[in-house]
Amino acid sequence: MIRRYALYWLPAPGSGLEAFGRSVLGYDNVSGHPVPYPDTLQDLAAVTAGARVYGFHATLKAPLRLAPDAAEADLVAAARDLAAAHPPVPVGGLAVAALGPFLALVPVAPPPELGLLAAECVAALDPFRAPPTAAERAKRRPDRLDPRGRALLDRWGYPYVFEAFRFHLTLTDALPEADRAAWHARLAEAYAATGPEGLTIESVSLLTQDGSGPFRLLARLPFGDAHG
């Protein structure tokens, strides 16, 4: 069975943001268990099937297979070293927004440090990444990318890195244009009801996926803690 790994940011354990994200996607990627949808948002199940596989997260290093000469322990150690040397990154407030046909939580005013963190994560873990297969590359729809996007895909295995990176926490699958405004209003209202606070990134998390199953937490790695 093929195993993949990804470096994500996950909300702090026990936080309101964590509870909100789990309830929206119907899945807890820490425990690996399903989560009931809110009574007022039961129909979310129909528009989150794809996002549910990954759980509530922000991507810092996209899913990868290990290179033949790489080991899981080495990947974990590299991610731990990265986290141990990193200071917290203040992000500030989040808001529900459209990213193409998807809805997501995004920073109201993303700081430059956020893009730098993502770039560090991409570069630090790339030596462990197996090159994408032809099928994996095709899933990224290179025909729809501009030349720079295809170059990033070919070099890093993912086109939305470095200047193309945008920190976001996905809330839905792709929605028909006619449905986006209504879902935006409903999810923004649900998020506002959580009493959202400003976000500071203080850790990163490695997750794993076996086959086509859901992603699940492997290790949460606090910043500035070489033994966390």
Q: Is the pLDDT at 142 greater than 70, yes or no?
A: yes
**Can you tell me the distance from the alpha carbon of 100 to that of 144, in angstroms, rounded to the nearest whole number?**
13
Domain positions in the chain are 3-222
Average pLDDT over residues 24-35: 97
Between the alpha carbon of residue 207 and those of residues 13, 65, 203, 219, 226, the distances in Å are 15, 12, 13, 7, 19
Which structure tokens are listed for 162?
A: 């470095």
- C-beta of residue 132 within 8 angstroms of C-beta of residue 63: no
pLDDT of residue 98 exceeding 90: yes
Average pLDDT over residues 52-72: 97
Confidence of residue 1 (pLDDT cuts 50, 70, 90): confident
Q: Tokens for 59, please give them.
A: 């991507």
**Average pLDDT of 186-192?**
97
The lowest-confidence range among 37-41, 114-118, 221-225 is: 221-225
pLDDT band at 225 (very low <50, low <70, confident <90, very high): low
pLDDT over 90 for what percent of the chain? 93
Q: Mean pLDDT across the stretch 21-36?
A: 97
SS3 11: coil
Fold of 3-222: Cyclic Phosphodiesterase; Chain: A, (3.90.1140)
